[in-house]
Structure 1
Amino acid sequence: MSSDGYLDPEANSYESRPPFYIGQHDSARSETLTDAQYNHVLNSGFDFVTTPITNEHFHQRVVDLYKSHLEEREQWGLSDVAKSNPSLPGPVVPTLTDDDTSYGPGRYVGSLIAYSSPWIDLCSSDPIISSISRQVLNIELAYASFCGARSIIIPGPRDDESSRAVMQYARGIQEALQAANRLNIIIHMPMYREPGLEEKADSLSSLLGNSNGTGSSAGKEIDIFTTWDSWHTIRSVCNYSARLFVALRIPKRVPERNLQERWFAEPLHYLTIGDNIFQKNPAGHPSLSRHHQELIGRYMRLKNHPWLILSDVGPDAESLNNLPDPMAVEFPSLAEASKALKDHRKPMPTQNVHVAYMRHVERNQLPYTEMETPPLRSFQDWLQSPLQPLADNLESATYEVFEGDPVKYNQYELAIANAMIEWRELKKPTSQSPANSDLIVAVAGAGRGPLVTRVLRAAESTGTSIQLWALEKNQNAYVYLLRQNKLIWNNRVTVIKTDMRGWAGPTSPTGTPSTVDILVTELLGSFGDNELSPECLDGIQRHIARPHGISIPHSYTAHLTPIATPRLHADIASRVVGDPNAFETPWVTRLFAIDFAAQKVPSHPRFQQAWEFVHPVEISRADQFAEKHGNAVKYASTGGGSMVGSSGSNDHNARHCHLTFACPTRGVVHGLAGYFESVLYASQTGKGKEPVEISILPDQIDRKSKDMISWFPIFFPLKQPLLFPQDSEIEVSMWRQTDDSKVWYEWIVEAYAWVGPKTRIKVGASEMHSSRKVACLM
């Protein structure tokens, strides 16, 4: 059984849930655990343990170094550091000795999480203390890397009010990333500045009586976003390093949802839970509030879900130091060893009560849903280039992935069946009536034929007689369609290998040209039109019978919202060296670890419609253009279109939008999330029937097409993250551009802050982005 599977006794089957990896941290620990102590902690139920890199001996050496430096300055009459010559050399921390650390290479090093000294004070206003702190941090990182550590936890800044201090800290972390180029660095930050959530150890400044002057925060109103501000400064200075993570201290009072979502989008490595967060249940055992359980459950749905660290919940240092050692005699005889074991034998340590409770929480998580299968979890925040179905021939495996979504095809079948039923109710003529009452149905872009099968099923269920045509330009898929027609469809389908835009149209059994009553396509992309559905349908809709012919889908709309997604920004930034267009590419991805920058307010929804396409249109612009100017002119560079060098035959498919989003809380925008909705078929009877729709909008998908997985959202990135203050408005301008041979998008994002009831100022803007170099080819 896998670590995330549990037996459901009622269903007699395994249910899959996120696994918990639980570690132990003791804030008072100053030495690395011995083998016996380490095994004792693991036997208590923990999976890993944190360890200090240096000990109290080294700490005292550093304190003495600072004091001796001050004494030396006093001897030279330089006691006033602020007024002394800045060119005088400062103290240099000597290298580690064996007395300075009990941490070292060993077989358990992979399960020991290195924790840097909490007394290090990178933020100190005293240049000597901050210099010593940087030196100590780099010494510890270098030694931990030598010992085999692959990650290290560093306590974050203790205060957010001093921008100088936070920037100084960020600079120190940037230097550490460069010096320790094989280590992942994890910054230990509180979720917000809740009193009692900081490191318990005194900083170097406090120990030496050198206050930073920040003062006490007691009685002050807590701004819950200040720690995120500090984190954003640190990771921005570090240029969104892929080796920089955050360990989040969970507070006793769970904050509002928007702060939870803000941290959810960050690269979480650990969630740390202190002993004071647990409450006593009626039986006297530790427990967490429902809000804490929900927060942890939410964060554990991430593909790379955080590990849990329980702080100061035992076994404590005293109990570990008093562990019996039955092998105290270096070389005992068998009799001596037997007696020692009898004298000192104790039962194996029982499971830590806090760990036992967390295992209870683990077992009682909601199981993974149909939308959280292992393949779908693996696609979380994974970048994919959009398909180019017109330029490329898809492989069978790609078609197979699409066909694995029953929801989409069920909706299509329902739409087709409703259209056939209403055709009969409204007594519409067919393309061949009165000679033939068969409906002419064409599936354009048939792929491997899933829609063909659904059309045949809809016809059977509604008792409709049809003539069915299947069009496919991919010569390889064409072979598959021929085989399906012979083995599955009983040769009821006319299979044509052709680009739908060049199809001459259906013919009657007697060979006379005819038209299509119902045209069915699945050309939609993540943004609705990004796989050129409008251009493809322009080329075939001339065959739809007028005025009664039907296109399925009938319409589709594109929607946008600004989002924060630091993981994707870091991923795209890492690709720029090999792909200079990475930030100009609209990426298809299953957006998951994101934070919506905008909030829903009455006048400005969180998700807003960019534009719409409706089919069929009464006149094909390309045909009209060709009729007026001639086919040769259609493809000539006449300069008459909206784009230089274009003829303008596809200008009717260009679009533009300008959207305004409300952002009451401050934050950052890394790009735009794009979604679509489509009306497959809208009732024509006037009886108020609900249309048949599909949607990937987060607030509509459950209502319109629950559990549909065929499409992931599209992401339009920004080269530089756009930071905005509270009470801001984010304005998004986007264009769908075309030069008659390809289609691309252009986008720009602006931030405005309200400074009065009727006054706002522009506080930032992105550059204009364009996907023209990676455009979708017509």
Structure 2
Amino acid sequence: MDTESSISMDDMPIFYVGHHETKRSHPVTEQLLHHAQDLNYDMLTAPITNAHFQARVLTALSTYFAELQASPTKQLPLPLITPLSPADTLHSPNDSISQLLALTSPWIDLASPDPVIAHISRQVFTLEIAYAAFCGFGNVVIQGPKLHHNDLHGQGIARYARAIQEALTIGQYINIQILLPMIDDPNDESHDDVGNLSRFVRDEYLSTSEPKENREVDIFGSWDAWNVIRTVCKYSQRVSVALTLPPQLPPAFVQRRWFSEPLRLISIPATSFVKNKKGYWVLPIAHQMLLFRYMRLRTVPWILLTDVGPIPGVDDPELVMTSGTGFLPQEAVTIPTQEPTPAEAAKAPPQKSKQADPTPHLSYLRHLQRNQPPKTQIERFGAGYQDYLQAPLQPLTDNLESITYEVFEKDPIKYEWYERAIEAALKDWAALKKPTSSPDGAVVVAVVGAGRGPLVTRALRASKNSGVRIQAWAVEKNPNAYVLLQRHNRDSWNGAVTVVKSDMRYWRGPHREDGTNGHVDIMVSELLGSFADNELSPECLDGVQHVLNPTHGISIPQSYTAHLTPASAPKLHADVTTRSIMDSTAPETPHVVMLHAIDFLSTTAPTNASNDQSLPKSPTPTGGSYAAAVRTGTTPVPSDASGLTPNIQQAWEFVHPVQPSILSQSRLRRGGSAAGGVGGATGGDGANEHNIRSSRSAFKCKNRGVCHGIAGYFESVLYAKEGQDAKGEKVELSTNPVTMDAKSRDMISWFPIWFPIKTPMYVPDDSEIVVSMWRQTDDRKVWYEWMLESFVEVRGRKLRVAVSEVHSSRKAGCLM
């Protein structure tokens, strides 16, 4: 095994690396492609047209302007660009097209304020897209819109976006990547080539009566332009981002924003590389971290090495070149903790090797590919689930398959924490000398909704570890799981468990020899959903509470809270939009999803995740310091690389057991008697209205963005220690990214929940999002309703700038 490789081939993303020259020195032929592949490149970029076509267009433009100048009062038709000729392009349909990325002409200006320049650019663009589609190119890279025309800024973005929308119609099987810088820096657009059409914009179209705009760097300017483009294109999954990494990376919250977008290409120019003290080209540490993180996306982006020099050996086809394998000498990859200054890099000695590496930048990327940090346990488990929408379970109406139970049982944390909670409860029961509900003095423990029995096994183990005898019961309504539970009782539990087939709500309790039914001392359940209560845990536990010891009975869990935050998730919105074509309820259905490529719109300064001293200590973090740095979305991390913590607020709480008076009133309402009131507000008798909840939460948003929905999480107290010496000790579970590390690190049983909104909501800088959420019921089903509002403060007054409709999942509610 290669000692340089830190992780297995199956565990690391593959870097698909291409070669790109902004001014390619050689025509892209099949021979050039094969030569590049021999050097270990995977693809090449190829301009659709050539310099001959550019010269022809410039001639037509010059002729038109000359005619205008000669006859200023004469009305002339706009210049016409005639169709492509064989002299204008070298491409034709062939088998190698799939290894090429087509490039539209970067010298056109689709966003030009001059109508003549915009018209010519549009014609050139249309001709190139149509020909690329004819040749069979699958991917076309298009230069992003020019944002600055002297004092004008961003005025042509809508015109550019409309051209992209039309390109999707012209090339119906083409995927488009918009090449954009990470930030909007006006200095990057100040040196256009001589042949760039933007240089020919007439002065009258560059003047403006508006005050001159600040030409400082706008860190979200490029993203703003992209947002207009993808909005006009209705979030088409055929339009994605090609992102150029600058030598100096922007703040981490900008990097996080691009991480949430549909990123298809990462362009790494030669200027982003530095030489280490040994004279080898390497990426700065910050760039490595960003690259490793972006390569963890569900769809791994391609990489373009840009302007690192022409493909070596292309002028001498007889020359045998070595390929970039990723095996580098140690000094080639040693990066000092303090990166060299430009002056130090210029003085770096040349590489000392018998044969110079012909592709040093490519070899370095292959080295990074071979030496990526290992995936965390959650990343390995979630492979394939990232940003994949799933319908929530309906455990009361559906009998789960064995494979579904098996997925839950792979969780390394959840059942360990349940065992510790049961053990702590048993120890407290014995220490406090509570009377038991069994005739022989054993503590009666019932696992309700036992499934395949993992909690039963943990309860028996907790009894053994605590030294407290228990009488164990397992209640399960699934007839198939009931068979397996009986087999476990025979083969694994030595008959120590009484297995009952029943819906827990209708179970009468432990039966006695005299024909009566007794009570349960400790009731254990795992009915929690991604939003805590969305799989009807409150309704189920209310229904079985009549068998719980009314004086000393303990419910595990004892309480759970739902938490939420607004988020930007363009990929999820595109997926929901696609699904809505076949399923009209998709935009109003909460989805379970392993959130990954998302951006939290509201963040706060980092705080301690939890001050609680929990009974079980979270496992020691593994995977090194980088493992925490690459975590995103729902992966538990108190704060991201920017030092900011997502602002996640509690919506509501459920506590068990419920006060007896509440359940008494519920029983009174069931049946519709006069004493039970006028009936439910949303239908039915109102017997379940004590489980209705609502919340209104305000979230400050410093940076502008687009809200696509609400991310939901939960926290649960399985057991809080009793007695005078308890000191607030708790056994807790959490999927909340802010508290998960402290409470249940690496737990994988639950993915978060996603509440989409039909129409994305733009959020300005320094604004506020207000999320209103309701949990509703009509005694037959439970559903959620949600809406969002956006506010800005103007002259001391809070003004509403956007509002969503009220979304309701009633049609897809969870049946009771």
TM-score, scaled relative to structure 2: 0.86
Report the equivalent of 1:333: none
Per the TM alignment, residue 106 of structure 1 is displaced from its structure 2 partner at its CA by 2.4
Aligned residues of 1:121 and 1:203 also touching (Cα < 8 A) = no
Report the equivalent of 1:49: 44
Report the equivalent of 1:720: 759
The reply to whether residue 383 of structure 1 matches residue 389 of structure 2 is yes
1:729 maps to a residue whose letter is: E
- 1:406 is paired with a residue whose SS is coil
The reply to whether residue 730 of structure 1 matches residue 769 of structure 2 is yes
Question: Matched residues in 2 for 1:10 and 1:63: separation?
Answer: 52
From 221, 236, 251, the counterpart of 2:231 = 236
From 132, 148, 155, the counterpart of 1:164 = 155
Instruction: Quickly say closer, same or farther: Cα 1:659–1:28, change in 2 above 3 A.
Output: same
- 1:541 is paired with a residue whose SS is helix
Spell out, residue by residue over 1:731-776, the C-alpha distance to the aligned partner (whole angstroms, 9 max, x if none): 11111111111111111111111224x4321111111111111111
Aligned residues of 1:30 and 1:52 also touching (Cα < 8 A) = no
Aligned residues of 2:436 and 2:521 also touching (Cα < 8 A) = yes
Per the TM alignment, residue 117 of structure 1 is displaced from its structure 2 partner at its CA by 0.7
The reply to whether residue 711 of structure 1 matches residue 715 of structure 2 is no
Question: Matched residues in 2 for 1:454 and 1:32: separation?
Answer: 68
Per the TM alignment, residue 214 of structure 1 is displaced from its structure 2 partner at its CA by 8.5
Superposition pairs for residues 56-455 of structure 1, below 5 Å? 56-73=51-68, 77=71, 79=72, 89-159=77-147, 162-194=153-185, 197=188, 201=193, 204-208=196-200, 210=202, 213=206, 220-315=215-310, 322-324=315-317, 350-373=357-380, 376-432=382-438, 435-455=439-459
- 2:604 is paired with a residue whose SS is coil
Per the TM alignment, residue 506 of structure 1 is displaced from its structure 2 partner at its CA by 1.1
Aligned residues of 1:445 and 1:500 also touching (Cα < 8 A) = yes
Report the equivalent of 1:344: none
Aligned residues of 2:192 and 2:199 also touching (Cα < 8 A) = no
Aligned residues of 1:601 and 1:662 also touching (Cα < 8 A) = no
Instruction: Quickly say closer, same or farther: Cα 1:279–1:563, change in 2 above 3 A.
Output: same
Instruction: Quickly say closer, same or farther: Cα 1:355–1:637, change in 2 above 3 A.
Output: farther
Aligned residues of 2:715 and 2:732 also touching (Cα < 8 A) = yes
Per the TM alignment, residue 397 of structure 1 is displaced from its structure 2 partner at its CA by 1.2
Gaps of 5+ in 2: 320-353, 608-644
Report the number of matched residues. Answer: 736
- 2:382 is paired with a residue whose SS is helix
Question: Matched residues in 1 for 2:685 and 2:199: separation?
Answer: 76
Question: Matched residues in 2 for 1:143 and 1:124: separation?
Answer: 23
The reply to whether residue 693 of structure 1 matches residue 743 of structure 2 is no
Question: Matched residues in 2 for 1:189 and 1:111: separation?
Answer: 22
Report the equivalent of 2:785: 746
- Mean Cα deviation higher: 650-659 or 220-229: 220-229
- 2:248 is paired with a residue whose SS is coil
Aligned residues of 1:44 and 1:350 also touching (Cα < 8 A) = no
- 2:41 is paired with a residue whose SS is coil
2:659 maps to a residue whose letter is: E
Question: Matched residues in 1 for 2:793 and 2:13: separation?
Answer: 43
Per the TM alignment, residue 45 of structure 1 is displaced from its structure 2 partner at its CA by 3.2
1:99 maps to a residue whose letter is: A
Spell out, residue by residue over 1:326-349, the C-alpha distance to the aligned partner (whole angstroms, 9 max, x if none): 9xxxxxxxxxxxxxxxxxxxx999
Per the TM alignment, residue 42 of structure 1 is displaced from its structure 2 partner at its CA by 2.6
- 2:440 is paired with a residue whose SS is coil
2:197 maps to a residue whose letter is: S
2:172 maps to a residue whose letter is: N
1:93 maps to a residue whose letter is: I
Report the equivalent of 1:585: 589
Aligned residues of 2:7 and 2:374 also touching (Cα < 8 A) = no
- 2:163 is paired with a residue whose SS is helix
Instruction: Quickly say closer, same or farther: Cα 1:639–1:269, change in 2 above 3 A.
Output: farther
- 2:57 is paired with a residue whose SS is helix
Per the TM alignment, residue 37 of structure 1 is displaced from its structure 2 partner at its CA by 2.7
From 683, 694, 718, the counterpart of 1:680 = 718
Report the equivalent of 2:701: 663
Spell out, residue by residue over 1:701-728, the C-alpha distance to the aligned partner (whole angstroms, 9 max, x if none): 1221111110000000011111011111
Give the RMSD, CA atoms, in angstroms.
Answer: 2.7
Question: Matched residues in 2 for 1:478 and 1:149: separation?
Answer: 56
Question: Matched residues in 2 for 1:15 and 1:427: separation?
Answer: 55
- 1:647 is paired with a residue whose SS is coil
Report the equivalent of 1:337: none
Instruction: Quickly say closer, same or farther: Cα 1:268–1:632, change in 2 above 3 A.
Output: same
Question: Matched residues in 2 for 1:70 and 1:12: separation?
Answer: 62
- 2:544 is paired with a residue whose SS is helix
Aligned residues of 2:521 and 2:552 also touching (Cα < 8 A) = yes
Aligned residues of 1:7 and 1:13 also touching (Cα < 8 A) = no
Per the TM alignment, residue 14 of structure 1 is displaced from its structure 2 partner at its CA by 6.5
The reply to whether residue 609 of structure 1 matches residue 650 of structure 2 is yes
Question: Matched residues in 1 for 2:55 and 2:389: separation?
Answer: 50
The reply to whether residue 461 of structure 1 matches residue 454 of structure 2 is no
Question: Matched residues in 1 for 2:467 and 2:247: separation?
Answer: 64
- Mean Cα deviation higher: 479-488 or 349-358: 349-358
Report the equivalent of 1:3: none
The reply to whether residue 21 of structure 1 matches residue 12 of structure 2 is no
The reply to whether residue 480 of structure 1 matches residue 462 of structure 2 is no
Per the TM alignment, residue 459 of structure 1 is displaced from its structure 2 partner at its CA by 1.1
Question: Matched residues in 2 for 1:491 and 1:522: separation?
Answer: 23
Per the TM alignment, residue 27 of structure 1 is displaced from its structure 2 partner at its CA by 0.6
1:413 maps to a residue whose letter is: E
Instruction: Quickly say closer, same or farther: Cα 1:492–1:476, change in 2 above 3 A.
Output: same
- Mean Cα deviation higher: 685-694 or 555-564: 685-694
Question: Matched residues in 1 for 2:578 and 2:155: separation?
Answer: 29
- 1:442 is paired with a residue whose SS is strand
- Mean Cα deviation higher: 486-495 or 265-274: 486-495
Per the TM alignment, residue 10 of structure 1 is displaced from its structure 2 partner at its CA by 10
Per the TM alignment, residue 610 of structure 1 is displaced from its structure 2 partner at its CA by 0.2
Per the TM alignment, residue 511 of structure 1 is displaced from its structure 2 partner at its CA by 3.6
1:107 maps to a residue whose letter is: D
1:527 maps to a residue whose letter is: F
1:96 maps to a residue whose letter is: L
- 1:377 is paired with a residue whose SS is coil
1:768 maps to a residue whose letter is: V
Spell out, residue by residue over 1:131-157, the C-alpha distance to the aligned partner (whole angstroms, 9 max, x if none): 221121121112112222111000001
Per the TM alignment, residue 605 of structure 1 is displaced from its structure 2 partner at its CA by 6.9
Instruction: Quickly say closer, same or farther: Cα 1:129–1:638, change in 2 above 3 A.
Output: farther
Per the TM alignment, residue 71 of structure 1 is displaced from its structure 2 partner at its CA by 4.3
Per the TM alignment, residue 646 of structure 1 is displaced from its structure 2 partner at its CA by 2.3
Instruction: Quickly say closer, same or farther: Cα 1:651–1:10, change in 2 above 3 A.
Output: same
Aligned residues of 2:158 and 2:229 also touching (Cα < 8 A) = yes
Report the equivalent of 2:334: none
2:20 maps to a residue whose letter is: H
Question: Matched residues in 2 for 1:14 and 1:175: separation?
Answer: 41
From 535, 541, 559, the counterpart of 2:563 = 559
Aligned identity (percent) is 48
Report the equivalent of 1:332: none
Question: Matched residues in 2 for 1:501 and 1:282: separation?
Answer: 71
